[in-house]
Structure 1
Amino acid sequence: MTDTTPFDWQPFLLRWSEEWADSLPDGEVRSKEDEAARRARWLGFPPASEERIAAVEKRLGRRLPPSYREFLQVSDGWQHAGGFVWLLAGTAEVHWHNDESGLADIFEECLDEDSDPEERREATVWRRGLQIDVEADAMHVVLDPEDVDEDGEWAVYSWASWRAAPPERYAGFAAFMRDMYREFHGLRAHPGDGEPEFVNDTTRELDALMERARTAALRGDWEGALPALDEAEEYGRPRAVCLGDQIRRLLGQAGTFRFDDVAADPRYAPDLLPVLVTEHAAHPFRRDSTLTFHMRGAGEDVVSSARAMLEEMRDGTYRYAPAGPFGEAVGRARELARWGDGDGAWRTLMDSLPEWRPLGPDHLAPLGWLADPLLGPLLTPERGRELLSTPRGGQRGEFPDRSAALDPDGLAWLADPDGHDGPTSYRFVLVEGVEPKDLPGLLADGEPGGEPSGESDGEPGGESDGESDGAVLAGPMTSYEARSRSFHGRREFSSYDDRALVAVGRAGAGWSFAFDGDPAHFDARRFVSPAVAAAAGTGTRAVVVWSGSRSGHGEPFFHLSVARDGAEQYAFTYMAGETHRTGEIPPALDPGRFFGPGGDGARERSLLEAVSDEFGVRLPRHALTEGRLHTFTTRSWTRPPGDGEAYVVIGMSGGGDGMR
């Protein structure tokens, strides 16, 4: 069936004719020509003799391309080439188009100096092309004598006014006819009421091919399965779109994934429906009325589930929770991802994937986790390939190599010289022996020590409005979402008020972090390190780092302070070529090793490596830059203004429509 198979016109055209005849409903009113073709089970005509072909070549002044010439030797013309060309030219009708359609004038008006050769060829082919459509549904088909391959085949160009697309190109006449045969199959694959079921040797062969591809995909051979599914999809076979879309979605390919309405089936809705809904939710201007566009035939229970999912996804509370051992692993993975351990979460999912079972024969892989706000950001194209290459669903196969971790060890990634993987300025607090959920009690205003309110799984759902005590963790969100929400409802801004919006998580064994990737201006005169407050508990250490070495605004600087048991142990601030220090700094962190007089802070990376080695800490790059984390607002990192110190307060009046 593939285009690389040596082409034999006689059996191909006979099969096409017989399948066409069998697909016609009984009692349908047909033209005299169609009824004759149905009875004869032949869509063609008598073959053209060599003399007749030679005569038309003399009339045209060119030898015909090989595949069209061979076609005429079997049938001198053709009826119903696909769904929209009702009669294809034989020797009597074929002629030079000479812009009979007027398309050359239309397309040439659109050309300009930036038009590429392909666009120019598509515009001018209508002047030189050999027309082979005789009767069609506003469709034009020509052979191009100037677009010729090494075998002498002329390319075919077709264009229809109702297609809103550039002309479609085929490598030759045989390729065009193969595609028209596939189009015929695609149009018959879903028979309407009263039409016979479209089953024949071709459909049975394709369905068997598709089933083998499904089994191969579950064994991990998605690369072998996808071409077979794509071929079946070209013939319009049911199930092919759904199976292929699952693979393409996990590969991260662009496009609209509709799963061929299988998501509307209650069996598959728990896993496929969330993917459709989350893509709808990602477009804020889509109307809710279009939610069910790709859910044809869905019952009210599935539609209600989709609407409920949409609301959960918009407020960030949707959770993917499949049943069985794999579902238990998903729960563990969510907890790891919740506090920033994306690599650990991914390994948890992959280790349990062989235990996953499909919901039915049209299910190839778990997909619902892509809609989960914590698990979805874990996907990369490399990880998608790893998942698809892992045997699952009761199948056995060779396990793939593990995909590379997304989070480097330590802290040095913050000093990425290109600025692609990290912020240009940042600050963070590391606290030992404290869970991330307890950080607001140490770093925010309000009563410390209380457990934040949350949902049944312990995932806090409250959020600070920027003016409250800030002692509640907001639900997981991206850094952009968190910063946007932090300004919502806030009506007063002070030059002395520097409450950091921080994301929280685990920073390695026994450590938690609170990270701000967009800090305010650093003023060494008014800065108050939160390390002392963070280390209030007995035996607790806290580390504070604030760097603006690459911010491009003001003097480069780097601050480090360390506290234990509620007291500062040591600290230093490097700025403008000078270092101010207090306490006994360990040799490994001595700023003299990294910043000399008049230095520019270029050894920031080495210093960050020393900090991570000294305390055994790390920060999760992927979670901080691409994922979702809990957030809260700390108390101010600057002291209140002293006597005689001026400061600015900007107030927004009313609903934010003015300033005072």
Structure 2
Amino acid sequence: MTDTTAFDWRPFLLRWSGEWADSLPDGEARGEDDEAARRARWLGFPPASEERIAAMEERLGRRMPPSYREFLKVSDGWRHAGGFVWLLAGTEDARWHNDESGLAEMFEEYLDEDAGPEERLEVDIWRRGLQLDVESDITHVLLDPQDVDEDGEWAVYTWASWRAAPPERHANFLDFMREMYREFHSLRSDRSDGEPVFVNDTTRKLDTQVEEARPEALRGGWERAEKALDEAKEYGRPRAAGLGDQIRRLLGQTYMVYFEDLVTDPRYAPDLLPPLVAEHAAHSYRDDSTLTFHLRGADDDLVSLAYATLDQVRSGTYRYAAAGPFGEAVERARELARWGDTDGAWRTLKNAVPLWEPLGPDHLAPLGWVADPLLGPLLTPERGRELLSTPRGGQAGEAPGPASGLDPGDLAWLAEPDPGDNRTSYRFVLVEGVEPEELPGRLADGDGTVLNQPVPFWEARRGSLHDQREFSSYDDRALMAVGRAGTGWSFAFDGDPAPFHRQRFVSPAAAASAGTRAVVVWSGLRTWHGEPFFHLSVARDGAEQYAFTYADGEIQKSGEIPRALDPSLFFGDLEDGAEAERSLLEAVTVEFGAHLPRHAIVNGRLHTFATRSWTRPPRNGETYAVIRLHRGAPRPASGERTGDDGPGSR
């Protein structure tokens, strides 16, 4: 906590005044008071005596907070506090606001019915606050006598209608004045032609900080670099925001990250533009009017590149590329991520970071990969810190320890509740010794089934339902994501299967196992639909070896089941279905040495395809229903299998 009583106000206010005076254009017409302040190089007033301060406190009925009191002893008021408060109150002008602005009533209208005491206390600031703004651009500055810390300091609240934001809180008057000084700097740093260059001891010190932060960040000292850049950014120093945004983006912070000053530079645009465009695509809802707002100053070629990149990001076809050995590692990482090995992909990418070559002196880290549909899901805040801590760009430093992997390396994670507890049933097929792209030939009808492009599973599901025109109660064609399931295994996974029908279920294990071995698991021990169930079947060379199904409290078995997978070990009275599920999945993991990649399945993008039906066709006398969508409207039909006729509908 800052010791506000020990702060020396005079040198701070003198520096502020001198920098303000030097920033004014020569010959510019200004008011008499401002001209006098410029000549005197002093924005303040004569100091207030202890008697004047005491008289003020007697008039207001309260002792003033320490930092405001100490300020008044140096200057009884202040001109140009920031860019929008032209005169700040001294002993004569400070007064209770008493909702003179009418803002208390306005803010009360925005309160919810269940608003708590703290929210209502914030609204009442307009009734109890001490008003310090005397002349301003509709900007209110209030000291709050009820928001007091242990040192007796009152919080300061500021609000302006044109900022369209809630009141901003400052811990005390000193913090408020420091923020106004930074605001003055930030506004002066963005000068138009013909105005004096804004250079002084403060700007030179901050610009040196920015220069020193660049190699520090490349050495892996991103925390020190970020602190230095953030301070320079608050003062509006050039490039500080663009450099700091590169660090923030890798930490997973996307709000208000625009890479300003750098994203419109043709040198850096190829790497900084894609993450900016990807964030826009994620939140724009097809309204692209704001995209160019963050590209002010860009030429036509760069704007065209931005829109072309936007089309690629939305279609999932954007592909990050980099030069040299790092670029080669990017390609290897993408191939690993494509088949679900996101931990391996991350290690490949991160281990190559020391070989990465910056596009220019203000390029702190590779960033375009976060917009790549396959590589972007690799990023977590922990991994971002690991990358930022890795020396790169020709700088030497100590390499960080590896971040922990995101995949547990087993199947048991499927028994854990997912966010929202939506994964209550799932099914998967494991096939040994084949590549993932071979699975459609083993699990789908016909030789023409190919893998869809990698997309999140929910998007693949939505796309398949959008194109589907016929729905049958006897046909259960699963949309499955595919990838590698550890050494020597591939998987097909369905996280949202249809209801399980034990009497009509046909395991795909036998068909998938031609010339090899296949495992099928279908779990619904936590399902919301009907009784809990669990199925396991194992096949080799096109024939089922063994299987069991637990359903309706009974176990059906076939073949010689290994002791470790004997269902009687797991299903007793089934007091805890989740524990039985976890134990079974652990046993399957040990028995076959395969696992499913949690991060890729839950957060990544994988290839998908539709399998043949997991249920047999209806037999004689069995009824079924078919819904066909005709010209946008559903048309129900029903059928019954009779004699030798095949499945039909009418």
What is the TM-score of this pair, normalised by structure 2?
A: 0.91
Give yes or no for contact 1:491–1:656 (8 Å, CA) kept in 2: no
Match of residue 462 from structure 1:
none
d(CA) in 1 for partners of 2:323 and 2:585?
Answer: 43
Q: Secondary structure at the match of 1:156?
A: strand
Q: For 1:481-539, what per-residue CA distance to the aligned partner results, in whole angstroms no more than 9, with x for missing partners? A: 010011122111111111110100011112111111111222222222212221223xx
- What letter corresponds to residue 523 of structure 1 in structure 2? H
d(CA) in 2 for partners of 1:415 and 1:352?
Answer: 35
Match of residue 354 from structure 1:
354
Match of residue 642 from structure 2:
none
Query: In the alignment, is residue 639 of structure 1 matched against residue 613 of structure 2?
Result: no
Measured after TM superposition, the shift of residue 422 of structure 1 is 8.2
Q: What is the correspondence of 1:260-659 to structure 2 with a 5 Å cutoff?
A: 260-283=260-283, 285-416=285-416, 423-447=423-447, 471-537=449-515, 540-596=516-572, 602-656=579-633, 659=636
CA shift in 2, pair 1:658/1:203, >3 Å: farther
Measured after TM superposition, the shift of residue 3 of structure 1 is 8.6
- What letter corresponds to residue 15 of structure 1 in structure 2? R
d(CA) in 1 for partners of 2:227 and 2:574?
Answer: 62
- What letter corresponds to residue 140 of structure 1 in structure 2? H
Match of residue 143 from structure 1:
143
Q: Secondary structure at the match of 1:155?
A: strand
Match of residue 224 from structure 1:
224
- What letter corresponds to residue 628 of structure 2 in structure 1? G
d(CA) in 1 for partners of 2:211 and 2:322?
Answer: 25
d(CA) in 2 for partners of 1:97 and 1:281?
Answer: 45
Match of residue 646 from structure 2:
none
Measured after TM superposition, the shift of residue 201 of structure 1 is 0.6
- What letter corresponds to residue 598 of structure 2 in structure 1? R
CA shift in 2, pair 1:256/1:148, >3 Å: closer
d(CA) in 2 for partners of 1:573 and 1:40?
Answer: 91
d(CA) in 1 for partners of 2:292 and 2:120?
Answer: 41
CA shift in 2, pair 1:544/1:62, >3 Å: closer
Measured after TM superposition, the shift of residue 99 of structure 1 is 3.6
CA shift in 2, pair 1:114/1:549, >3 Å: closer
Identity of counterpart residues, as a percentage?
73
Match of residue 45 from structure 1:
45
d(CA) in 1 for partners of 2:573 and 2:138?
Answer: 79
CA shift in 2, pair 1:115/1:612, >3 Å: closer
- What letter corresponds to residue 244 of structure 1 in structure 2? G
Give yes or no for contact 2:574–2:580 (8 Å, CA) kept in 1: no
Give yes or no for contact 1:541–1:562 (8 Å, CA) kept in 2: yes
Give yes or no for contact 2:239–2:260 (8 Å, CA) kept in 1: yes
- What letter corresponds to residue 471 of structure 2 in structure 1? F
CA shift in 2, pair 1:232/1:21, >3 Å: same
Measured after TM superposition, the shift of residue 206 of structure 1 is 1.2
Give yes or no for contact 1:219–1:396 (8 Å, CA) kept in 2: yes
Match of residue 211 from structure 1:
211
Q: For 1:294-345, what per-residue CA distance to the aligned partner results, in whole angstroms no more than 9, with x for missing partners? A: 1111122221221111111111111111112211111111000000001101
d(CA) in 2 for partners of 1:113 and 1:530?
Answer: 56
- What letter corresponds to residue 479 of structure 1 in structure 2? F
CA shift in 2, pair 1:293/1:562, >3 Å: same
- What letter corresponds to residue 14 of structure 1 in structure 2? L
- What letter corresponds to residue 542 of structure 1 in structure 2? A
Match of residue 453 from structure 1:
none
d(CA) in 2 for partners of 1:535 and 1:132?
Answer: 80
Q: For 1:3-29, what per-residue CA distance to the aligned partner results, in whole angstroms no more than 9, with x for missing partners? A: 989521221111111111111123322
Gaps of 5+ in 1: 448-468
Q: Secondary structure at the match of 2:564?
A: helix
Measured after TM superposition, the shift of residue 138 of structure 1 is 1.4
Give yes or no for contact 1:139–1:159 (8 Å, CA) kept in 2: yes
Deviates more, 1:332-341 or 1:289-298: 289-298
Q: Secondary structure at the match of 2:295?
A: coil
Q: Secondary structure at the match of 2:366?
A: coil
Q: For 1:123-160, what per-residue CA distance to the aligned partner results, in whole angstroms no more than 9, with x for missing partners? A: 33344433322211112223334433333333323232
Q: Secondary structure at the match of 1:17?
A: helix
Deviates more, 1:329-338 or 1:398-407: 398-407
Measured after TM superposition, the shift of residue 52 of structure 1 is 3.8
Deviates more, 1:574-583 or 1:489-498: 574-583
Gaps of 5+ in 2: 638-650
d(CA) in 2 for partners of 1:494 and 1:330?
Answer: 44
Q: Secondary structure at the match of 1:289?
A: coil
- What letter corresponds to residue 424 of structure 1 in structure 2? T
Q: Secondary structure at the match of 2:177?
A: helix
Match of residue 184 from structure 1:
184
Q: For 1:50-83, what per-residue CA distance to the aligned partner results, in whole angstroms no more than 9, with x for missing partners? A: 4444444444444433323332332232211111
Measured after TM superposition, the shift of residue 423 of structure 1 is 2.7
Measured after TM superposition, the shift of residue 566 of structure 1 is 2.0
CA shift in 2, pair 1:655/1:233, >3 Å: same
Q: Secondary structure at the match of 1:643?
A: coil
Give yes or no for contact 2:512–2:542 (8 Å, CA) kept in 1: yes
Give yes or no for contact 1:18–1:41 (8 Å, CA) kept in 2: yes
Q: Secondary structure at the match of 1:152?
A: coil
Q: For 1:545-578, what per-residue CA distance to the aligned partner results, in whole angstroms no more than 9, with x for missing partners? A: 2222221322222222222222222222222233
d(CA) in 2 for partners of 1:541 and 1:342?
Answer: 25
Give yes or no for contact 1:578–1:597 (8 Å, CA) kept in 2: no
Give yes or no for contact 1:413–1:422 (8 Å, CA) kept in 2: no
Give yes or no for contact 2:5–2:66 (8 Å, CA) kept in 1: no
Measured after TM superposition, the shift of residue 349 of structure 1 is 1.1
d(CA) in 2 for partners of 1:530 and 1:314?
Answer: 35
Q: Secondary structure at the match of 2:76?
A: coil
Q: What is the correspondence of 1:51-66 to structure 2 with a 5 Å cutoff?
A: 51-66=51-66
CA shift in 2, pair 1:503/1:46, >3 Å: same
Match of residue 81 from structure 1:
81
Q: What is the correspondence of 1:6-25 to structure 2 with a 5 Å cutoff?
A: 6-25=6-25
